[in-house]
């Protein structure tokens, strides 16, 4: 390392320290505490306190992309056991637009959801949806996937948009890369993500945001040493929580597990650890064992609309002709509204006719299944029997597989 690089690093370090000490002067509406830890795995259970209420972890966040968890109203989400939902900044920024949401002082009142909300930064959707997106040091320039209009999304913009959305947890803008990626591309993306996180933190401080936490996102592709570098540089920023990004982007499942297993312990212990865009019930059970506290994924809601139901004895496809004469509930072990009142035969009929109620009843069941799975894991961790819980879960799911 040459002298000028060392001087630059020192200067940067002192700027970050200054930023951190300024941010600590006011009372902040966000707290995370670990309540119990598993003695055999890295699983832990805890509580996140936000301006909109408490969240018990590990937690799964149903995805409400456009300001609605598809097919459900907020009361139904609460009845399913949802504690926090996720909304997408990119989509809400384009439609209906911040100006409309400002009329309601934020997303909570606009969509009538009173619990905590996490918003992503918009970066992932620009990466996956927008046409002609171009990335520079300034931010993303992209064209809307709706009307082709041109937009620029900078780290500062994303903080301000999420401020208007009024989410309880906001995410730093990051650069997600596709799989597979060359090492140099992964390295550049992680360095840019770190510089953008510094800018997000500064924008968060300058705007005196006191009731919205700011999480950083670890990148680094499928390179372990780059993941380490990313985690280390973001940890210095003392953000309120940390996410593992860039997973579930097309890599083999074993690789996704390996990267999550490697990255999660690198993140600060006393902050929530969030694995973005994951996953199936088995993914959640595995990754809670690695020490993950938060998840989001479209699987329970999207699959419900495609007729796939998760049950305590494996996954079933309600479209299957074998369910036509089945008078039993979707999952005999489930006490949700759908399983308490309707049969597999009726759900099969609704799905075959593409009735609107099919989407709603299937989604109620899948969300309830996910919420109960997380609750069962929290209890198993508290009673220090998480390892046995994992073994039992894998055995039951493997025995019945997809019907």
Our CA angle for 127, 128, 130, nearest 5°, is 75
Q: Is 168 a catalytic residue?
A: no
Please count the other Cβ atoms lying within 10 Å of the Cβ belonging to residue 70.
17
Residues that bind Zn ion (rule: CB under 5 A) add up to a total of 5
- Selecting among 120, 168, 174, 331, the annotated active-site residue is 120
Query: DSSP 3-state assignment of 293?
Result: coil
Nearer to Zn ion among residue 373 and residue 381 (C-beta): 373
Task: Return the residue matching tokens 């046409």.
Answer: 131
Nearer to Zn ion among residue 343 and residue 387 (C-beta): 343
Nearer to Zn ion among residue 243 and residue 336 (C-beta): 336
Nearer to Zn ion among residue 80 and residue 94 (C-beta): 80
| Spatial distance between the Cα atoms of 357 and 377, rounded to a whole number of angstroms | 30
- Shortest CB 309 distance to Zn ion, Å: 8
Nearer to Zn ion among residue 318 and residue 339 (C-beta): 339
| 163 contributes a contact to Zn ion by CB under 5 A | no
Q: What is the per-residue binding string for Zn ion in 335-374, x denoting contact by CB under 5 A?
A: -x-xx-------------------------x---------
| 348 neighbors 326 (Cβ within 8 angstroms) | yes
- Shortest CB 364 distance to Zn ion, Å: 7
Nearer to Zn ion among residue 106 and residue 345 (C-beta): 345
Structure tokens at 234: 């973001």
| Spatial distance between the Cα atoms of 304 and 19, rounded to a whole number of angstroms | 45
- Shortest CB 399 distance to Zn ion, Å: 20
- Shortest CB 81 distance to Zn ion, Å: 11
Cis peptide before 127, with omega less than 30 degrees from 0?
A: no
Please spell the DSSP secondary structure of 183-230, one letter per residue. HHHHHHHHHHHHHHHHHHHHHHHHTT--SSEEEEEE--TT-HHHHHHH
| Spatial distance between the Cα atoms of 186 and 273, rounded to a whole number of angstroms | 21
| 334 contributes a contact to Zn ion by CB under 5 A | yes
The stretch among 164-172, 241-249, 256-264, 331-339 that binds Zn ion (CB under 5 A) is 331-339
Nearer to Zn ion among residue 171 and residue 304 (C-beta): 304
Please count the other Cβ atoms lying within 10 Å of the Cβ belonging to residue 236.
15
- Shortest CB 174 distance to Zn ion, Å: 36
Strand partners, 244: 218, 275
The stretch among 48-56, 132-140, 190-198, 327-335 that binds Zn ion (CB under 5 A) is 327-335
Q: Is 120 a catalytic residue?
A: yes
Strand partners, 53: 50
How many CA atoms within 13 Å lie on the side-chain side of 290? 25
- Shortest CB 79 distance to Zn ion, Å: 11
Binding positions for Zn ion, 288-317, rule CB under 5 A: none
3-state class percentages of the chain: helix first, strand second, coil last, to nearest 5: 45, 20, 35
- Shortest CB 311 distance to Zn ion, Å: 8
- Selecting among 157, 168, 174, 296, the annotated active-site residue is 296
- Shortest CB 237 distance to Zn ion, Å: 42
The stretch among 28-36, 112-120, 328-336, 342-350 that binds Zn ion (CB under 5 A) is 328-336
Render the burial of 249-287: b for 16+ CB within 10 Å, e for the rest. bebeeeebbebbbbbbebbeeebbbbbbbbbbbebbbbb
The stretch among 64-72, 178-186, 270-278, 329-337 that binds Zn ion (CB under 5 A) is 329-337
| Spatial distance between the Cα atoms of 80 and 329, rounded to a whole number of angstroms | 17
The stretch among 149-157, 326-334, 346-354, 394-402 that binds Zn ion (CB under 5 A) is 326-334
Element (H, E) at 390: helix 386-400
Nearer to Zn ion among residue 32 and residue 359 (C-beta): 359
Binding positions for Zn ion, 169-228, rule CB under 5 A: none
Binding positions for Zn ion, 51-80, rule CB under 5 A: none
Strand partners, 117: 85
Residues identified as active-site: 120, 296
Question: Which positions lie near Zn ion, rule CB under 5 A?
Answer: 334, 336, 338-339, 365
């Amino acid at each position: 390392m040459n002298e000028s690089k060392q001087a630059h690093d020192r200067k940067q370090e002192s700027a970050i320290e200054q930023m951190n000490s300024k941010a600590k002067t006011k009372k902040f509406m966000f707290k995370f505490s670990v309540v119990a830890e598993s003695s055999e795995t890295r699983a832990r259970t805890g509580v996140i306190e936000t301006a909109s209420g408490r969240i018990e972890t590990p937690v799964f966040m149903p995805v409400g992309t456009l300001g609605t968890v598809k097919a459900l109203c907020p009361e139904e989400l609460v009845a399913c056991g949802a504690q926090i939902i996720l909304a997408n900044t990119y989509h809400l920024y384009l439609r209906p637009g911040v100006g409309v949401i400002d009329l309601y002082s934020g997303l909570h009142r606009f969509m009538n959801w009173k619990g905590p909300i996490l918003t992503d930064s918009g970066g992932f959707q620009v990466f996956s949806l927008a046409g002609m997106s171009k990335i520079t040091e300034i931010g993303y320039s992209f064209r809307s996937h709706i009307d082709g209009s041109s937009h620029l999304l900078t780290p500062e913009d994303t903080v301000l948009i999420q401020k208007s959305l009024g989410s309880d947890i906001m995410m730093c803008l990051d650069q997600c890369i596709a799989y597979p990626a060359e090492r140099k591309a992964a390295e550049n993306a992680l360095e840019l993500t770190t510089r953008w996180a510094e800018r997000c933190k500064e924008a968060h401080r300058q705007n005196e945001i006191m009731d919205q936490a700011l999480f950083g996102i670890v990148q680094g592709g499928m390179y372990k040493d780059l993941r380490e570098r990313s985690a280390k540089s973001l940890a210095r920023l003392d953000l309120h929580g940390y996410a593992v990004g860039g997973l579930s982007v097309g890599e083999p499942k074993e690789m996704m597990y390996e990267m999550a297993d490697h990255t999660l312990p690198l993140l600060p212990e006393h902050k929530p650890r969030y694995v973005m865009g994951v996953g199936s019930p088995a993914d959640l059970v595995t990754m809670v064992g690695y020490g993950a506290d938060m998840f989001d994924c479209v699987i329970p809601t999207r699959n419900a609309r495609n007729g796939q139901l998760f049950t305590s004895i494996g996954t079933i496809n309600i479209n299957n002709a074998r369910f036509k004469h089945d008078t039993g509930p979707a999952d005999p072990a489930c006490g949700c509204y759908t399983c308490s009142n309707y049969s597999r035969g009726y759900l099969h009929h609704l799905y075959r006719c593409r009735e609107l109620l099919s989407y709603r009843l299937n989604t109620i069941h899948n969300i309830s299944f996910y919420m109960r799975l997380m609750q069962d894991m929290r209890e198993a961790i508290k009673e220090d029997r998480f390892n046995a819980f994992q073994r039992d879960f894998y055995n039951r799911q493997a025995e019945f597989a997809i019907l």
